[in-house]
Structures are given as structure tokens and as C-alpha cells.
Amino acid sequence: MKKLLCCIVVISALAVAQLSGACVGRTLHIGVPNSANERLLAEMISLLITERTGTSVKVQVYRDNRELYGAVKKGEVNLLVETPDRALEVLGKPKEANGKNVQDFIKSSYRSTLHLAWLEPFGGTPQYAPVLTVETLSNYPALPKLLTKLAGTLNNDAYAKLLKSSETGDKSRKAVREFLKTKKLI
């Protein structure tokens, strides 16, 4: 009986140790093109993830989509912020009206051809959505739920104010932090 109890305790301790290391101590890499919109959203995602999970997050700005998707293919980027128009361009399809069919097409095509998971668009910026690598999604299964919290709080007015304040990096980070605190997200 004591041996069985010892085995259960050891197995439980190992399981807890593995689960506790699921976020802490690892670094997520967010890649975005060099645009104020994407940099602002990346900053918001970075602070949200860091504050809520303890995971280190690094934001890397790329010159263009080609460079960004090259980094994704090399495994250097875990998460990116994307628009339906750019996603269609990446997939080699013509830009279309933004509708449910287009979103469904993008989601399934990104998953099957690029091994990327397209999440729900942010509330105040309906054209922007977080996109995770499938590997990141399996390593951080709670991440989509956390990122969805932004969709319900980020309206057009709030986003416009944050974007205006993002002209300088320090002010941007402070404004994003205050916004997330006001919305009780951090």
C-alpha cells in the first residue's frame, strides 16, 4: 500500500511540474508587419499574455509579409496579427467582400496549407485577428480564450484613442496597460 501511495505521489508531482511549466519560463514570439495598427495590437497581446500567464513575450516587427511569413515557416514566430485581405493575398486569392464565407475559407486554408489557426477577430478592429501556429495552439490551449477577451472590450473609439497614443513606444505601452487595467483584463 505504501509503495502504491508513493508511486501516486511521484506521478502526481511529475504531472504538476510538467503542467506548471506549460507557460512560465517559455517565450512566445509575436510577429507583425511594420504598421502602427499591428504594433499596437501586438503590444496589447503581449501585455495581456505576460500579465495573465507569466509567459515571456517578444514582439518582432518585420519589413513586410514575405519576411513575416518566412519567419513563421522557420518557426521563429508563434503568433501574428492578420487581416482577411492580406490573408487572401498570402493564399494567392483575390480580395473579396469580408463575409462569413471568406472568413471560413481563410480559417480552413490557413489551417490546412500554412498550419496556422485563425482566431476570432478583435472587437473594435474587425479586420484584425490573431493567428497562432498549430504547435503554439497545442502548447498553449488556453491562449485562444484569453485573446478572445480582447474581442469583447476593444471597440472602435477605444482603439482609435490607443492608436493615437501609439505614436511613441513608451506612451503606447502605458496607454495599453491602462486600457487593459480599466477593462479588468490585467
| pLDDT, tens digit, 9 for 90 and up, residues 96-121 | 766 778 889 999 999 999 999 999 88
- Do residues 119 and 125 make contact, with C-beta atoms less than 8 angstroms apart? no
pTM for this entry? 0.80
For each of the domains in the chain, give its residue range(s) and CATH number, in order of start: 26-83+113-177 (3.40.190.10)
pLDDT digit string, tens, across residues 45-98: 999 999 999 999 999 999 999 999 999 999 999 999 999 989 999 999 888 766
Length reported for the chain: 186
Q: Is 179 helix (H, G, I), strand (E, B) or coil?
A: helix
% of the chain with per-residue pLDDT over 90: 51
Q: Is 130 helix (H, G, I), strand (E, B) or coil?
A: strand
